[in-house]
Amino acid sequence: GMPVEQNPPALSLYEGAESGLRCNFSTTMKGVQWFQQNHRGRLITLFYLAQGTKENGRLKSTFNSKERYSTLHIKDAQLEDSGTYFCAVEPNNMGYKLTFGTGTSLLVDP
């Protein structure tokens, strides 16, 4: 399938800090979904976007299909934000077939 690249591969933040994660893809997509995978391995749904921007508490995500990227911004990082963050894109021709990115491993330190 088409590659979905995430940057950075790993990130370390102190509590209270903020940062952005980026997801790049090679073709236009129908939608994007962001997940946090916690220490137990559970994939927790954060956002689904077909366009534009969504915000939920300390998290904010943007999807720009034309420019072929999506971002996830975390502000006021907390210890429980640690985990691996995946973006997954819906291809235009088979929207159900999520293609996952390579992930960003986030560690939040006190």
Partner 1 sequence: NAGVIQTPRHKVTGKGQEATLWCEPISGHSAVFWYRQTIVQGLEFLTYFRNQAPIDDSGMPKERFSAQMPNQSHSTLKIQSTQPQDSAVYLCASSPRDWGYEQYFGPGTRLTVL
CA separation for the pair 47, 65 (Å, rounded): 15
Instruction: Pick one of 88, 104, 106, 108: the residue that binds partner 1 (CB under 8 A).
Output: 88
Q: Which of 76, 73, 31 is nearest to 49 (CA)?
A: 31
Alpha-carbon distance of 88 to 110, in angstroms, equals: 29
Nearest approach, Cβ of residue 14 and partner 1 (Å): 28
Give the total of residues touching partner 1 (CB under 8 A).
23
- What would the two tokens of residue 81 be? 């934000």
Q: Find the binder of partner 1 among 35, 63, 69, 85 (CB under 8 A).
A: 35
Alpha carbons 53 and 72: distance in angstroms, whole number: 10
Pairing of β 19-25 and β 4-7: antiparallel
Q: Of 32, 98, 106, 108, which one interacts with partner 1 (CB under 8 A)?
A: 98
Position 86 contacts partner 1 (CB under 8 A):
yes
- Any contact of residue 31 with partner 1 (CB under 8 A)? yes
By beta-carbon proximity to partner 1, the closer residue of 14 and 96 is 96
Residue number, 50 or 107, with CB nearest to partner 1: 50
Q: Which parts of 61-80 interact with partner 1 (CB under 8 A)?
A: none
The encoded tokens of residue 86 equal 């995946």
